[in-house]
Amino acid sequence: MTEVVSDQTDRTDRAEGSDRADLSDRVAGRPVGRWDDGLIARRSAGRTAEAAGAQDEAVRPADEPYDDDLPRGGTYGRELRGRLDALRELVGLSRTRLDGGTLAEAGRVLDEAAARQGLSAQHTVVAIAGATGSGKSTLFNNLAGVSISETGLRRPTTSAPIACSWTDGAAGLLDRLGIPGRLRRRPLKLGEPDEAMRGLVLVDLPDHDSAMTTHRDQVDRVLKLVDAVIWVVDPEKYADAVLHERYLRPLAGHAEITFVVLNQVDRLPGDAADQVLDDLRRLLDEDGMALGEHGEPGATVLSLSALTGEGIGELREMLGQFVQERGAAGRRMSADVDAAAIGLRPVYVADGQRPELGEGAREDFADRLAEAVGAAAVGEAAEREWRRNAGRACGTPWLRLWRWYEARRDPMSSTESASGEAAEEEEVTARQRVEQAVRTVGDEAAAGLPAPWAQAVRESAVRGAAGLPEELDALAVTAGVPHGRPPRPGWWPAAVLAQASMTLLQIYGGLWLVGQIVGALEPGLLPPFLVMLAGVVGGPVVEWSCGVAARGPARRYGQEAERRLRDAAAGSGRARVLDPVSAELLRYREVREQYVAVTGLSTTGR
């Protein structure tokens, strides 16, 4: 016993340097984080430090576990752990798409959830918050059963958070709250400890409406870390706009871990207390805070007088039952996840149709690229080339000779110049068509998406389109009209033979006439004339017949050339634009599924 009191006194002297104390404990082989920071209760006049330590040891159960021996990680249920995992995955998938400020609150919730899960699951940290003069410090002392927090007319009375723990093992929790050892207390009562309050860590906060900014900052900081909060209001300030707009309304989703206490009812005459309490309930309902009535989950609202003790027993009973459930930390984290999900809703929930790139948009994009690359013109050129080749093989030699002569006689310089200018103009138009096609498909894919993801989809389309016009230009050369002559159908040799026969008839008839003219042959103009006429007429007929027969193959040849170029252009556009856009939409669907898991709702199908 003497060694324990000596150890506690030594730690009291070093309460300001808790980190050094922990280091000394490790060196000495003692457990780290034990609740033995030295101050047990607010010392009465004439009480010595040794007597206080001895009395504290007398009321502490011998088998009280140290902080390192307390269960950890048992605070959260399977559902909450799943939501936290989904939130962690959601943040990881979104870091490159959303700015840090948007994900800051979600990151804070994850950090705090991990920190709280690593601490005692047998303790419940409850903060008492209120305005100046609301009597929260008096209520704090009344619950502790001893004067711990200063009360009086001087404002503000509470300048820093003061903690009171009913059992050992809460040092890690209070380290997380940043409450130094000199402001940690124990309720001092002779006799058996209060089992109903076992595991409670009560924190008295500074006034939330204090004129000192540091006080308000401490309130805001601690309120984000505690497992539950008791809001103390008085008949004069229960409708204060600062309380409702800055705290109660934003924390409406934390109703299950919220107690709202109307204090100082002893100052109200008759049934005025009930009227004020009803009005307080109305204001809380307007704040969106669910009230725990008729067995439904929600905030606990009651009236009491911390000065006279009226209603304290009811609050103590409710608080004890609340602490013994050991579920406040999990409900707090679940409410924090809900709040983070609500804050993230605008950047994850799409309005409108299901975010996807439909077949219609893909086909339209392919049509635009085919138009930009000139697939139709290439097909027409291929068809003309097929017919031209047929004309060279099946046409009359005299017509082919005339075409050759015309080609040699017509200068090509002006045509080349004009065609060069037309090609340059066509190149500019094609580039504009490609850019327009990319913008259109990006806008269609981003339609209905939240702004950050819509922007990411458009940017992925623009990035992928870099170099696409040049690639399409190369495809127009390599995948357009094939080099060499078009393939010949099976009837081609017969047509060539027929045309050659017609030519031979013309030559034979002509020679026959010349022979008669010069007297080498017997006169008779009609037979050679008919033979030559048959060749002259038969040649064009064969050529026309070949042209008619060539229409189908030529058209199919041109369509095949157009299809090849169209498919090549569509493949290039798909690889450079559509695939990145689809990947971005897939990422959005993944984060949307994770967001649905964070909210705990079923998938809506969007």
User: Is the pLDDT reported for residue 371 higher than 50?
Assistant: yes
**pLDDT-derived band at 403, boundaries 50, 70, 90:** low
pLDDT of residue 158: 63
Tens digit of each residue's pLDDT (9 = 90 or more) over 235-248: 999 999 999 999 99
**pLDDT-derived band at 282, boundaries 50, 70, 90:** very high
User: Is the pLDDT reported for residue 367 higher than 70?
Assistant: yes
Tens digit of each residue's pLDDT (9 = 90 or more) over 198-217: 999 999 999 998 888 999 99
Calculate the alpha carbon distances from 140 to 47, 144, 198, 326 in Å: 22, 6, 16, 21
* Cα 600 to Cα 83: distance, rounded to the nearest angstrom: 7
Q: Is the pTM of this model over 0.85?
A: no
In this predicted model, which residue has the larger pLDDT, 100 or 83? Answer: 83
User: Is the pLDDT reported for residue 222 higher than 90?
Assistant: yes
**pLDDT-derived band at 444, boundaries 50, 70, 90:** confident
Tens digit of each residue's pLDDT (9 = 90 or more) over 453-491: 889 999 999 888 888 878 887 777 776 656 666 666 666
Peptide bond into 450 cis (omega under 30): no
**pLDDT-derived band at 49, boundaries 50, 70, 90:** very low
User: Is the pLDDT reported for residue 38 higher than 60?
Assistant: no
Given CA atoms 527, 532, 535, 540 in this order, what sign does their dihedral have? Answer: negative
Tens digit of each residue's pLDDT (9 = 90 or more) over 90-129: 999 888 888 888 999 999 999 999 999 999 999 999 999 9
User: Is the pLDDT reported for residue 249 higher than 90?
Assistant: yes
pLDDT of residue 43: 33
pLDDT of residue 512: 79
Tens digit of each residue's pLDDT (9 = 90 or more) over 53-77: 433 333 333 333 334 444 444 568 8
User: Is the pLDDT reported for residue 330 higher than 90?
Assistant: yes
Average pLDDT, integer, range 325-333: 93
Most confident region among 27-36, 474-483, 501-510 by mean pLDDT:
501-510
In this predicted model, which residue has the larger pLDDT, 5 or 249? Answer: 249
DSSP 8-state symbol, 255: G
Helices (H), 95-238: 100-117, 136-144, 171-177, 213-223
**Among 173, 155, 151, residue whose Cα is nearest residue 164:** 173
Average pLDDT, the chain: 77
Among 20-24, 40-44, 160-164, 178-182, the range scoring the smallest mean pLDDT is 40-44
In this predicted model, which residue has the larger pLDDT, 599 or 24? Answer: 599
**pLDDT-derived band at 366, boundaries 50, 70, 90:** confident
* Cα 257 to Cα 461: distance, rounded to the nearest angstrom: 47
Q: Which amino acid is at 324?
A: Q
**pLDDT-derived band at 375, boundaries 50, 70, 90:** confident
pLDDT of residue 228: 96
Confirm if 273 and 262 have CB atoms less than 8 A apart: yes
Confirm if 95 and 103 have CB atoms less than 8 A apart: yes
pLDDT of residue 427: 55
Among 273-277, 432-436, 493-497, 575-579, the range scoring the smallest mean pLDDT is 493-497
Average pLDDT, integer, range 12-37: 36
Most confident region among 188-202, 251-265, 349-363, 545-559 by mean pLDDT:
251-265
User: Is the pLDDT reported for residue 10 higher than 60?
Assistant: no
Q: Which residues contact 427 (CB under 8 A, 6 or more apart)?
A: 473
Other C-beta atoms lying within 10 Å of the C-beta of residue 200: 26
pLDDT of residue 204: 94
User: Is the pLDDT reported for residue 421 higher than 50?
Assistant: no
User: Is the pLDDT reported for residue 276 higher than 60?
Assistant: yes
Provide the β-strand partners of residue 165: 201
Among 81-95, 171-185, 284-298, 401-415, the range scoring the smallest mean pLDDT is 401-415
Average pLDDT, integer, range 507-536: 77
Tens digit of each residue's pLDDT (9 = 90 or more) over 563-573: 888 888 888 88
* Cα 560 to Cα 448: distance, rounded to the nearest angstrom: 38
User: Is the pLDDT reported for residue 20 higher than 60?
Assistant: no
Q: Which residues contact 600 (CB under 8 A, 6 or more apart)?
A: 79, 83
**Among 263, 57, 40, residue whose Cα is nearest residue 145:** 40
**pLDDT-derived band at 42, boundaries 50, 70, 90:** very low
pLDDT of residue 268: 92
pLDDT of residue 414: 42
What three-state secondary structure class fits 440? helix
pLDDT of residue 573: 87
pLDDT of residue 151: 59
**pLDDT-derived band at 411, boundaries 50, 70, 90:** low
pLDDT of residue 335: 94
Tokens 């042209």, residue?
547
Q: Which two tokens stand for residue 465?
A: 């389109």
User: Is the pLDDT reported for residue 352 higher than 80?
Assistant: no
In this predicted model, which residue has the larger pLDDT, 21 or 334? Answer: 334
**Among 114, 101, 98, 65, residue whose Cα is nearest residue 453:** 98
User: Is the pLDDT reported for residue 582 higher than 60?
Assistant: yes
